[in-house]
Amino acid sequence: MDIQTKKLHFVQEFLRLKDENIIDKLSDLLRIEKKKKIEKELKPFSQKELNDLIDKAESDSENGRLTSARELKNEIDSWN
């Protein structure tokens, strides 16, 4: 059975549920497993990587390569 078929079967069974407790448990399980997956894929910066990012940020600030929050908000508003 491929993943799309599995998801379809799961959704169909989920929609048939009447017990709120089971729905809550499934929701909790999904949230926990998604969090585990995200945490597994994260890796911390090394000290050098962090220092390089700080140096770049300082350079960007000193050379005017910044976007203000207002400019960013106006840009986002223009997407709609």
pLDDT tens-digit series, residues 26-48:
999 999 999 999 998 988 899 99
Same domain assignment for residues 37 and 59 = no
Round to whole Å and give the CA distance between 66 and 58. 10
Q: Which residues contact 65 (CB under 8 A, 6 or more apart)?
A: 59
Which residue shows structure tokens 């997956």? 37
Q: What pLDDT, on the 0 to 100 scale, is given for residue 5?
A: 95
Q: What pLDDT, on the 0 to 100 scale, is given for residue 80?
A: 77
Round to whole Å and give the CA distance between 73 and 19. 43
Same domain assignment for residues 13 and 35 = yes
Same domain assignment for residues 28 and 51 = no
Cα angle 76-31-16, degrees, rounded to a multiple of 5? 105
Domain total in the chain: 2
pTM, two decimal places = 0.50
Same domain assignment for residues 54 and 35 = no
pLDDT < 50: residue spans in the chain: none
Same domain assignment for residues 26 and 9 = yes
Domain that holds residue 29: 3-41
Same domain assignment for residues 24 and 53 = no
